[in-house]
Amino acid sequence: MTRFRNTVNGQPRGGDQWIASLNPFDGEAWAEIPRGTAADADEAVTAAHKAFSSGPWPAMTATARGKLLRRFGDLILRDAEKLAAIEVRDNGKLYAEMLGQLRYIPEWFHYFGGLADKIEGGVLPMDKPEMFAFTKPEPLGVVVAITPWNSPLLLLAWKLAPALAAGCTVVIKPSEFTSCSTLALMELVAEAGFPPGVVNTVTGYGSEIGTALSEHPLVAKLAFTGGDATGTAVYSSAAKGLKHVTLELGGKSPNIIFDDARLEDAVKGAISGIFAASGQTCIAGSRLLVQRSVYEEVAQRVTAFAGTAQMGDPMLDTTQVGPITTVPQRDKVLSYIDMARQEGARCLLGGGRPSRPDLARGWFVEPTIFADVDNSMRIAREEVFGPVLSIIPFEDEDHAVEIANDTIYGLAAGVWTGSTRRAFLMADKLQAGTVWVNTYRAVSFMAPFGGYKKSGIGRESGQAAIREYLQTKTVWINLAEGVSNPFVLR
Ligand code: NDP
């Protein structure tokens, strides 16, 4: 069995205890990761703080940092197949999906590598004579990046690239279900030439090392993606130490189909919104809002399309729906399916574990569709994070907006329409950090991503993301000789 080790201050670190990493397709243990302790967390943060405060990293120019990031991106591209295969063994998502992500991740390091030396301060116009003042962006310090199990390296890249470009140092805490690809990535951190201590890892259970990391006095910022309950705990920890945060906490995103849409495309958009990645994505379009006049037709077409989706080995090109990443998550999804039935939703497809013997050892849940869902039902209000679609009818634009915004979340929304007027109107009225029109599940290193309402705080990707890892220093230089009355504000 492969044993992956942590990296602290450039050195490999094992552990007294190990956690088995299980393959969601067959339930077999295939690798082990260290079960870190609070002492390990302290050591990793201390190493990151030392690397931030002294040695080659703070002395390095932003241009040199940018080159390191770009080299790192090139190395990830070189090893994309290897890293993607590790992710599939850990989280059970399709190899095609993970390879696509791995081949795209380098763009974040190229983009933020390019941005590293383009973040300028400014000379301030000054109302006081003989006073010169300017601003200077400076890195925040040690960043703890906490990542979930659904897309470990993509969601890490969204944090690591801007943090390093800004000049911060980082401690990564991946989900204990899917730590292996992050630990494998550390070989490339070293190969790219990052000085020891700039990027460190500590693996283990969130319940055992989460607080030690998020309340550590030497940590300046927490960058977290995960569930809203854990996100709230992380935010509370951050508040105790007045730390900066970026939180990305999932959603209950509406994917809205109007009767003037090209229904063939809209149906594919509905499928990609919920069944790609077995619904284990923060941007899942888990509420499909369909205009009443085309409701039955769309429900029938989405059901027919989803009914053809091939479940199977995620390594195979022919597979379209893989297993759920963890046993607790599979059980959570199944419990929501039961709940939807009890709430009176009409099950059009799926509704349980598949009966195929070749899938019996894997943690599969059938693509499941419920019609006649009311937005007040729990299946429409809570994040399921699985392949479960709720179809909700609406009458007109105002009604669609009312239902779409009637949620505690606000991560993303989709709109399918043939009308430009309607596209702009809906984009204005939807309370979501991302609105897609006639497309779904598109992300880019150039496009800010984050949540409204309880879907999170801050933005990842895009130029603004680097500012999330910087603070502004204002420098005043008195050019006059002598100091005036010390008892008066200058
Ligand atoms: P969590 O939100 O608990 O996990 C996210 C990360 O936080 C993991 O690395 C986890 O580590 C870590 N963590 C857990 N507890 C703490 C803590 N006290 N302090 C710091 N870090 C901590 O995800 P779950 O696996 O529990 O999933 C629960 C639900 O969250 C899912 O059903 C889904 O609805 C949602 N989710 C949303 C995601 C998104 O992309 N927005 C991604 C994943 C889940 P560890 O795993 O070791 O506990």
Q: Report how far ligand 1's centroid is from the alpha carbon of 278 (Å).
A: 17
CA–CA separation, 187 and 277 (whole Å):
27
Mutation pick for ligand 1 pocket among 175, 214, 454 (CB with most ligand atoms within 8 Å): 175
Identical topology for domains 2-249+455-474 and 254-437: no
Coil, helix or strand at residue 94:
coil
Structure tokens at 110: 């190229």
Nearest C-alpha neighbor of 176 from the set 324, 46, 325, 278: 325
CA–CA separation, 209 and 175 (whole Å):
11
Q: Which long-range contacts (CB under 8 A, 24 or more apart) does 67-71 make?
A: 67/113, 68/113, 68/164, 68/192, 68/193, 68/194, 69/109, 69/110, 69/112, 69/113, 69/116, 69/161, 69/164, 69/165, 70/109, 70/110, 70/113, 70/114, 71/192, 71/193
254-437 falls under which CATH superfamily? Aldehyde Dehydrogenase; Chain A, domain 2 (3.40.309.10)
Cβ–ligand 1 contact at 175 (below 6 Å): yes
CA–CA separation, 24 and 326 (whole Å):
7
Structure tokens at 405: 């915004």
**How many other C-beta atoms lie within 10 A of the C-beta of residue 263?**
19
248 catalytic? Reply is: yes
Q: What is the pLDDT along the chain (490 residues), one digit of tens a residue?
A: 899 999 999 999 999 999 999 999 999 999 999 999 999 999 999 999 999 999 999 999 999 999 999 999 999 999 999 999 999 999 999 999 999 999 999 999 999 999 999 999 999 999 999 999 999 999 999 999 999 999 999 999 999 999 999 999 999 999 999 999 999 999 999 999 999 999 999 999 999 999 999 999 999 999 999 999 999 999 999 999 999 999 999 899 999 999 999 999 999 999 999 998 999 999 999 999 999 999 999 999 999 999 999 999 999 999 999 999 999 999 999 999 999 999 999 999 999 999 999 999 999 999 999 999 999 999 999 999 999 999 999 999 999 999 999 999 999 999 999 999 999 999 999 999 999 999 999 999 999 999 999 999 999 999 999 999 999 999 999 999 988 889 999 8
Cβ–ligand 1 contact at 251 (below 6 Å): no
CA–CA separation, 266 and 417 (whole Å):
9
- Supply the residue whose CA is at minimum distance from atom 36 of ligand 1: 227
Edge-to-edge order in the sheet of strand 412-416: 346-349, 368-371, 388-394, 287-291, 254-257, 412-416, 434-437
> Which one is catalytic: 248, 383, 397, 460?
248
Cβ–ligand 1 contact at 253 (below 6 Å): no
Cβ–ligand 1 contact at 385 (below 6 Å): yes
Cβ–ligand 1 contact at 148 (below 6 Å): yes
Nearest C-alpha neighbor of 73 from the set 151, 223, 185, 197: 185
Question: Structural domain boundaries of the chain?
Answer: 2-249+455-474, 254-437
Q: Which amino acid makes up residue 160?
A: L
Q: How many CA atoms lie within 13 A of 275 on its CB side?
A: 25
282 catalytic? Reply is: yes
Domain 2-249+455-474 fold: Aldehyde Dehydrogenase; Chain A, domain 1 (3.40.605)
pTM above 0.85, yes or no: yes
